[in-house]
Amino acid sequence: MSVTLNNGTLALRALEPSDLDILYKWENDPMLWAVSDTVAPYSRKMLWGYLENNTNDIYTNRALRLMVVTASDGTPVGIIDFFNFNPLNNRAELGLFIAAEHRGKGFGRMAVDMLCDYAANHIGMRQIYIYVTTDNTVCLQLFKDYGFVQSGVLKSWVKRGNTYHDVAVLQYFLG
């Protein structure tokens, strides 16, 4: 079976040095910190170091981060990644970010589809899991529509300001 990292509408590609400005913008958006467990901004120097040293070898880094871009002109629309990769159990946690101006166009689902195909057919992954706050109904619906199954809820798991929020754990079994 062939890997599809370009479906004609979107492509997934390795991060490039030219992505520094968009990464700086996205990583330093305080609205996203609650879902990324970030509490402080990143400097350009820190992000440049990440870009310089990132091998994108999932077995070495236990992570794989790819830029989601339009296939027609390469415009970055988001990031998708695997992290906490466990090669013994063939599973990884999935992270997905689609920039606000590109949401509602099906890009998230397309990116998940391409990465799941790659995970199953080229990495040999068996399952993917995600954590989503229960109040993020759009994200929960996206993954449930895709076929992720909710396997539990972690009570008061994520703190935003002075309030704790529940998190749903969802799993997806590949092939």
What was the pLDDT predicted at 1?
34
What was the pLDDT predicted at 40?
77
Contact by Cβ (8 Å): 169, 128? no
Compute the mean pLDDT over every residue in the chain, rounded to the nearest whole number: 91
What was the pLDDT predicted at 34?
64
The fraction of the chain above a pLDDT of 70, given in percent, is 95
Domains and CATH numbers, the chain: 10-130 (3.40.630.30)
pLDDT in tens, 75-125: 999 999 999 999 999 999 999 999 999 999 999 999 999 999 999 999 999
What was the pLDDT predicted at 67?
96
- pLDDT(2) > 50: no
Predicted confidence band of residue 39 (pLDDT cuts 50, 70, 90): confident
What was the pLDDT predicted at 63?
93
For the full predicted model, state whether its pTM sits above 0.75: yes
- CB within 8 Å of 4: residues ≥ 6 apart: 114, 117, 118
- CB within 8 Å of 61: residues ≥ 6 apart: 54, 55
Contact by Cβ (8 Å): 172, 129? yes
- pLDDT(60) > 70: yes
Task: Determine the 3-state secondary structure of 33 from DSSP.
Answer: helix
Cα–Cα distance between 15 and 76 in angstroms, integer?
A: 10
